[in-house]
Amino acid sequence: MRIERVYELPSQIMSLVNESEREGFRFLTRLKSDFDSRVNTFSNDGEALFAVFEANVLIAIGGINVQEVSGGSW
């Protein structure tokens, strides 16, 4: 298994999107849509997008976003 930071969506992303939709989840659909439209490219300071590969097959993807806290500390 290999985890790597990615700056573009891997070419295999649609296989994960399709599988997640079949299982009733839409979060990868949104990730792809937001990334493609440049709404969220995980490129701000402190943000990153990671992909997990097993035998060069994409098996997972996820990102970290920074959110500002309004009204004080957590």
Q: What is the pLDDT of residue 47?
A: 97
Report d(CA 65, CA 11) in Å as an integer: 22
Cβ contact 57:63 at 8 Å: no
Phi then psi for residue 13, to 5 deg, are -60, -35
pLDDT: is 48 or 71 the higher one? Answer: 48
Q: Which tokens is 52 given?
A: 């997990």
Question: For the chain, what are the domain ranges?
Answer: 2-64
Buried b or exposed e, range 32-46, using 16+ CB within 10 angstroms: beebeeeebbbeeee
* Residue 74 scores a pLDDT above 60: no
Model confidence, pTM: 0.85
- Span 10-58, pLDDT tens digits: 999 999 999 999 999 999 999 999 999 999 999 999 999 999 999 999 9
